[in-house]
Structure 1
């Protein structure tokens, strides 16, 4: 356990009017959670916690509760994301060797609408904690602006742990198990590896993603980077929200009818597909069933809407729930992330059987892919997305990308393989590569 966490949060007006937090995504080691021009950007490390295995969430929650309860924070702003804050990333599976982690940044810049703030955090008992110290610490971190990079002829994309042939075989086997009635949905993923001729420019990748995918949540936690369209759980003053996605249509292969708009095409082909609707229904039922025990009221769309992204369309549903049931304590965002992970959108249904079948058929350790990624504060607020459309920076010149698809009885191996390439596209483009 670290020494007592101390800190200060002050109003921060030094945020550009147009670029917002993007102006702070300048270091390759930045911690971030950004959507449109709002969110959080963190620098340095005041403390860290890691855990593996089935108790990884509970251990992290216990550690954070102890740290946050004992923290001495002078908070001149208030509200979610101020005061004591930790960024986090959790392994998808309890069997993973990958260490789940919480990281308390030394310096944090936040923006929510027109409200900006600067937080300075330290476990050093001798450190000065003041507005001047916070400003000086931020200035020091911003001196180390990372260089960008251009695409190089020496950059190449190579197969990962799961080849295209292996993936098609896994999908075939999964469909057979679904057809036998063992489960209704299974999510299978694969990986590819980018081998770069020069060091990856992570900050540049994050800015590219944040600009192109403004309706997604761009994240960076300790080498895990990406831009996810799916919110696992958000808690803001005892109200929980989630965005569930299942059902995908690649925008690179459009076959519109004469006079048909893109929106009408997506509505007809995606929303009108019995297969896609079935996959989405399983995903939304999974999330609401897991969330229901913690809520006093819950609402969701009666029909999914079509979410338009630069690379794909998705069927999407938003869920809102009022927390608190039976007079017990209101769960924190991190506790709820544990409760609802994994949903059918990234695992399958029923969840326990799907998880076992993923380990049998997939042929790789997902690590943090499809696990919760985001942040939590000392009041229990937080935002936890699902680590999708992302990659893990394994070395300065090696980046591993992941993508997966929901498999139902009507799935075909070739179609699911093509869908993985559509989902690789955001990271490939941000890295300057072609699939």
Structure 2
């Protein structure tokens, strides 16, 4: 059985030399399941939406860092790896060639290690067409289609079993009890009413204590099938299915999806098709929260762009557990004097944290989060995704997810945007609606 524990708990493997890789086309992939056929090991790194994306196994090298310069330091390391790399790649497709998966701590004050990880084997899929990338630091390794397929086959020989519900499975309170979270929300509202800030995002955690080892691959498949409009991610023990794209870069174009404003679908009238639109778009509180989030992102992205477009009004995004007010942003990136556009990781550094996961003003909201939450967010609400050698990448915000702390202990996170009109009981209920994807995927109930 493959190791279900985060690779960060084990020492990094020794390096033999510079990175070497080969990418080969593999033809069309099964449309009904896409990459889910490869999500069979608990130690897989994944980035999947509607059957496409990336699934990876193994680890050739990694970089870890922390603090306010974590993004810049990670980018410098990635560039240094690329300088000495040998790459064979006949495909001009984002996500081919050398790729690193990444997860970054939410806070610049966090001691949680942010990381970039270069896997050994990657299966990718885009528009139904698939490819395979084999990466090694062995100067004598054969770079060929046969070698790549052999490495993949060796990983797929170890398939981790599914997990059935266990009578000892339970949900336990996290750092904050429900009562303490209500007090934190009330405190946030008071500070907003006092004029200190416009919005603060307050999170809480719950802990899944399992009676048998977690089946991470099974959880990821459940999430990917149920939440096909989200990006299902797994990086080093951080797992989930986020509806929010912080930034996606392909060549000279950047895209983002901003969410703020939430309505629980539980208990909604089944015979009222206009219910979500009316309640969300008709709520001054929800529209105010959304406008803060979209203004925050576009303001931070603007210096890097020649032009930018976004919805004039937010649309209602329907997910199995909730409805959200959502806006998609698309921008043409500005080229520097050398003809280069900013990499996806450079834009992550510029954009994080957005008002959607922190608040506004950012500095004031960040300090208030530390004061009221009493919670080490770690990678929760931080950027998660991948970057390739061309700087292309997809970085979501690590929401609707959890951290696997041991084989039988999983910590779940959820947060809410608090504005002047927020009601503590309603925000507490909203956290439960946001916990629901992970609770159900783990086979638990609340």
TM-score category, normalised to shorter length: over 0.9
- Calculate the TM-score normalised by the size of structure 2: 0.95
Give 2:405's match in structure 1, choosing from 394, 409, 425: 394
Aligned structure 1 segments of 4 or more residues deviating by more than 6 angstroms: none
Q: C-alpha distance in 2, partners of 1:32/1:54? A: 26
User: 2:385 is matched with which residue?
Assistant: 374
User: 1:260 is matched with which residue?
Assistant: 272
Q: Unaligned 5+ residue runs, structure 1?
A: none
Give 1:184's match in structure 2, choosing from 198, 204, 210: 198
Give the drift of 1:14.
Answer: 6.9
Give the drift of 1:327.
Answer: 4.1
RMSD of aligned C-alpha atoms?
1.2
Q: C-alpha distance in 1, partners of 2:359/2:157? A: 46
Q: C-alpha distance in 2, partners of 1:321/1:115? A: 26
Q: C-alpha distance in 2, partners of 1:254/1:342? A: 32
User: 2:325 is matched with which residue?
Assistant: 315
Q: Unaligned 5+ residue runs, structure 2?
A: 1-13
Give the drift of 1:268.
Answer: 0.4
Matches within 5 A, 1:148-297: 148-255=162-269, 260-261=272-273, 264-297=274-307
Matched, 1:97 2:105: no
Q: C-alpha distance in 2, partners of 1:428/1:288? A: 33
Task: Answer yes or no: is the 8 Å Cα contact 1:230–1:386 preserved in 2.
Answer: yes
User: 2:370 is matched with which residue?
Assistant: 359
Task: Answer yes or no: is the 8 Å Cα contact 2:52–2:128 preserved in 1.
Answer: no
Partner SS state of residue 13, structure 1 = strand
User: 1:346 is matched with which residue?
Assistant: 357
**Worse overlay, 225-234 or 120-129:** 120-129
Task: Answer yes or no: is the 8 Å Cα contact 1:293–1:325 preserved in 2.
Answer: no
Matched, 1:31 2:45: yes
Q: C-alpha distance in 2, partners of 1:163/1:327? A: 53
Q: C-alpha distance in 2, partners of 1:227/1:363? A: 25
Q: 1:129-173: CA deviations, max 9, x gaps? A: 211110000000001101000111110000011111111111000
Q: C-alpha distance in 1, partners of 2:106/2:362? A: 13
- Calculate the TM-score normalised by the size of structure 1: 0.97
Q: 1:84-141: CA deviations, max 9, x gaps? A: 0000000000111110000001000000003210000011222222111100000000
Matched, 1:407 2:418: yes
Give the drift of 1:12.
Answer: 1.1
Task: Answer yes or no: is the 8 Å Cα contact 2:31–2:51 preserved in 1.
Answer: no
Number of equivalences: 431
Q: C-alpha distance in 2, partners of 1:319/1:417? A: 30
Q: C-alpha distance in 1, partners of 2:123/2:196? A: 48
Task: Answer yes or no: is the 8 Å Cα contact 1:69–1:378 preserved in 2.
Answer: no
